[in-house]
Structure 1
Amino acid sequence: MDCIHLTEIRCYGYTGYLPEEQVLGQWFEVDVKLWLDLSAAAKSDEISDTLDYRSVISLIQDLVKTSKFALVERLAGAIADSIIQQCHQVTQVQVILTKPAAPIPDFGGKISIELTRSRAE
């Protein structure tokens, strides 16, 4: 199966367990891998034969900006579910949601959630 990779989609959002995360917000980074059949587009060179990934980027940005979940796992799931529901060509999606600056004392790393959803699920 063919894939489209969209990486480093950077969005400001209000998801987080701590109350201040839902008020002050923070940056998130989203990478997605979209499985779909690209054979028609590879032959025709027509955008109508593929997925216009601008719509996927907008969908992700809107979800991150407007959602207020306690858990990043929930936000990652909402992104995956929305892509599967709205992008009918996509048979499987992988979402990696990264929180670059987690509010954890003495921790300078990143936290990422990775999940995969299929249309059959």
Structure 2
Amino acid sequence: MDYIHLKEMQFFGYHGVLPEENVLGQRFRANVSLAVDMKRAGETDELDQTVSYVGVYDICKEVIEGKPFKLIEAVAEKVASSILTQYEGQIFGCRVEIIKPDPPIPGHYKEVAVEITRGQFV
């Protein structure tokens, strides 16, 4: 199995349970890993033999900067399902991590995050 990783993508969105999160918005980061077969792409050096990093980034941007969700679990699910639908037959599995660096939680911590895996990911 081969993997494509898009790391530390940064976006601004309006996801959250609290009303101020939906009004003020906040920063989000995302990491996406895709289980793919890159053998043909490596042999041919042709873009149409692999998954477009730009296309995956655009899906993440559209979801995270788009319609607000209450839960980052729902954001992660929408990102994963959108990628798997767009690249059906090209991706065996998708791992998505959504990071909320500044949630409105009192205390000291670096960030909160969720990670989901959909499909086959060895």
Q: TM-score, normalised to structure 1's length?
A: 0.94
Using the TM superposition, give the Cα deviation of residue 109 of structure 1 relative to its aligned residue in structure 2, in angstroms: 2.2
CA distance in 1, matches of 2:3, 2:66: 27
Gaps of at least 5 residues in structure 1 are none
1:107 maps to what in 2?
108
1:57 maps to what in 2?
57
Give the root-mean-square deviation of aligned CA atoms: 1.0
Cα deviation code 1:43-85 (max 9, x no counterpart): 0011111111101001100111112111111111111111111
CA distance in 2, matches of 1:54, 1:62: 12
1:69 maps to what in 2?
69
CA distance in 2, matches of 1:98, 1:58: 17
2:20 maps to what in 1?
20
CA distance in 2, matches of 1:108, 1:67: 27
Cα deviation code 1:64-120 (max 9, x no counterpart): 11121111111111111111111121110000110011111123420010000017x
The answer on whether the counterparts of 1:6 and 1:33 sit within 8 Å (CA) in structure 2 is yes
How many residue pairs match? The answer is: 119
Gaps of at least 5 residues in structure 2 are none
The answer on whether the counterparts of 1:101 and 1:108 sit within 8 Å (CA) in structure 2 is no
Q: TM-score, normalised to structure 2's length?
A: 0.94
Q: Secondary structure at the match of 1:66?
A: coil
- Structure 1 segments (4+ residues) deviating >4 Å: none
- 1:97 and 2:120 aligned: no
